[in-house]
Structure 1
């Protein structure tokens, strides 16, 4: 066991971890932050996306020990300080960018990373960026609309599929 210390959603945490413990396991099992989902165990689906030191990471591809000293943000830390939904979360709700909700935390985390790097992405840029995130329910159309709306663009210009 190795002791790791990191800042998760603005709070410092220290815990012992096994050498092979994945970041997603650490977040879910040790910190009880269950919004980060395990969908495929092969880093294909993106349900486990979090931010590590400001970068989008699939938490099933990183050992918890690798995050020692890092700043980690999960879906639980995305809400506004008063607990209300942030602009991306609200856009997903307003534009029906979710159905079952399993992929939604990873999609929101990916959208936040995209909008940090590219505040007004085109539809094509959004679709390209989300290639690492799988949704089995929505068909992506409303997810794209939600991200366009969160960027302040007219989501109505997305053609119906």
Structure 2
């Protein structure tokens, strides 16, 4: 027995093949049949009028702060993204010494126009090193898979202090 069958959807499988109308069966979190599905399911959803696709991967996001307070990670998750990467553009919040918290918030606000007030209120800062940051994220649950690049600006500030942000420093 399937756990879920999506019926009557327009399937775009991501391979470049032409779209087609069909069903998708899922068992134990794995797609087991596509097209003409056999057998019953615990739950059936009518996908009439909907497009059924694999989840999208967003390789460039700035959820670095938002992941510490938001498990939904909208708008990506509500637009079909199932995996995301953050730490792009060299900005992020780990590693982070306490005295650099405001500096990192101001940097992300300046580079990405993300409101510093939201970051200051939302960031939990229950980390210092990058492994601590990953461990803090691992304690939370999210609507999609997340991956993190180590942001070079945060790393330079962590290792070099103020000289890490000074292009004239030798």
TM-score bracket, normalised by the shorter chain, equals under 0.3
Structure having the higher helix fraction is 1
TM-score (norm 1): 0.26
Instruction: Return the TM-score normalized by structure 2.
Output: 0.25
